[in-house]
A = this chain, B = another copy of it.
Amino acid sequence: MRSPVPDYLAEVLEACAADTSGANASYIPQLAQADSDQLGVAIATLTGDVHAAGDTDVEFTIQSISKPFVHALALRDRGLSAVLDKIDVEPSGEAFNELSLEDGTARPSNPMINAGAITATTLVGEPGSSLEERWERIHAGLSAFAGRDLTVDEPVFESELATAHRNLAIAHMLRGHEIITDDPEEAVRIYTRQCSLRVTTRDLAMMAATLANGGVQPVTGQEVVSPSVVRQVLSVMTTCGMYDSAGDWVSTVGLPAKSGVAGGIIGALPGQVGLAVFSPRLDEHGASVRGIQVFERLSREMGLHLMEVAAPARSVMRQSPGVDPEDDEPTHVYTLQGSLQFAGVEEVLRTLVAEPPEVEQVVLDLTHVHSLNRVARRMLLEAVRRLTLDGHTVRLLDPEEVLPDPVAGGGIRPEVLQE
């Protein structure tokens, strides 16, 4: 059997290829000269598999898509509080290259606009790092997200640096407000260099998948950043990643995302997949025209929208009176299934409250439980505790250890059956 996923992706590309509106970024010769018809899409799973269609092995510069990853590195190296001191996380309603800073604190509005991104660049590594150390750390970090050693497109770098007037203006302003303490010219140099790293659409999908996977690179297994860093980065991508069309993006696509002027866009669905699209022609907000179309189609057809309410879930619990095979005691078995979050466990608790088990022996069968989040685990253990206090003997059937180390409050520890 051939996987239907690449076929599906090819279909999506075909449907979106017809739109030739927009234009390549013009302010850098190398971007202007890129083949405007290029179009590629890739989906990377959390197991490290990549489904791709179109021009997904073409290298182009990462540009602003570097921003969330460097923001992540800054959070990793300095911590949330230190980064928030210098960069706010509010959508600004303005374009990516705006110069305005927050009244009072002079912080850039968020790390997705250039002012915030340049600031984030200066927060990677130790305070007082040398230019080389800082660059090395950024280069290593972005390569770790991608799972391969990325290289700089030197002509693009030189070309962008020569015309980086606006970013220099921003950096000097940041320096004037003491938001950055590095030399402004050096800050812009590293920032421009990070934007000039060459990536493929596959690379970007993998980088996005690393975010979707809680910071662990799916192929190399390296934890590039922690889950709490990822949560912060994805939150900011949600509200600020698409600049002044962030609200429209959240409504129509509904995924944390980031675009770059070379034509790339990434999206990440937490716990599911990383996605990337590439097509050079940009709309007036500086985002790839066909890239947006592909994302809108994938979101709609694949149900990726974060606000999509899935079809009503089936009941997570079945129950059956039974007999313990070993000692012949009457036993009430509660079979749980699916991915248990608050709502599911709440249903279990509600049933236990409404119709308490009528025999002493109780088994919670977790064989078919697919995953449990924190609150589900806690509530389940609390149920064990309360049942125990009510005089029941509670045992867990948990052959795959979905509920490891099951100690409930008061030191109550139920017996765990393997089958």
The B-contacting residues of A in range 168-220, CB under 8 angstroms, are 168-173, 175-176, 184, 212-214
Distance between Cα atoms of A342 and B246 in the complex (Å): 25
* Contact (Cβ within 8 A) A230 B307: yes
Taking the closest CB of chain B, its distance from the CB of A105, in whole angstroms, is 13
Query: Looking at the complex, which one of B94, B232, B307 makes contact with A235 (CB distance below 8 Å)?
Result: B307
The digit string for A1-27, where 1 denotes a CB below 8 A from any CB of B, is 111110000000000000000000000
Give the complex CA separation of A275 and B107 in angstroms: 33
Contact assessment for B339 and A373 in the assembled complex, using a CB-CB cutoff below 8 Å:
no
Question: What residues on B are CB-neighbors of A302 within 8 Å?
Answer: 342, 374-375
With a cutoff of 8 Å between Cβ atoms, the chain B residues found around residue A352 in the complex are 1
A308 at the binding interface (Cβ < 8 Å): yes
Q: In the complex, which residues of chain B have a beta carbon less than 8 angstroms from the beta carbon of A246?
A: 90-91, 239
Residues of B contacting A88 with CB < 8 Å? 247-248
- Interfacial chain B residues near A269, Cβ < 8 Å: 342
Chain B residues near A311: list those with CB within 8 A.
371-373
Q: Complex: how many Å from CA A1 to CA B383?
A: 8
- Minimum Cβ distance to chain B for residue A185 (Å): 9
**Pick the contact of A184 from B94, B165, B236 — CB < 8 Å?**
B165
CB closest residue in chain B, given A237: B307
Interchain CB contact under 8 A, B93 and A308: no
Q: A172-B172, A254-B235 are in contact. Are A270 and B402 (CB under 8 A)?
A: no
The 10 closest A-B pairs by CB, nearest first: A338-B370, A165-B176, A169-B172, A169-B173, A214-B309, A90-B247, A234-B307, A168-B172, A302-B375, A89-B247
- For this complex, 18 residue pairs linking A to B, each with C-beta atoms less than 8 Å apart, are A1-B353, A1-B386, A45-B347, A90-B247, A231-B251, A231-B307, A235-B307, A238-B306, A240-B247, A302-B374, A302-B375, A303-B375, A308-B373, A310-B339, A314-B371, A316-B370, A337-B338, A339-B339
Instruction: Give the interface of A toward B (CB within 8 A).
Output: 1-5, 45-47, 49, 51, 88-94, 99, 109-110, 163, 165-166, 168-173, 175-176, 184, 212-214, 227, 230-232, 234-236, 238-240, 244-248, 250-251, 254, 256, 269-273, 301-314, 316, 337-339, 341-343, 346-347, 349-350, 352-353, 356, 368, 370-375, 379, 382-383, 386-387, 390, 400, 402
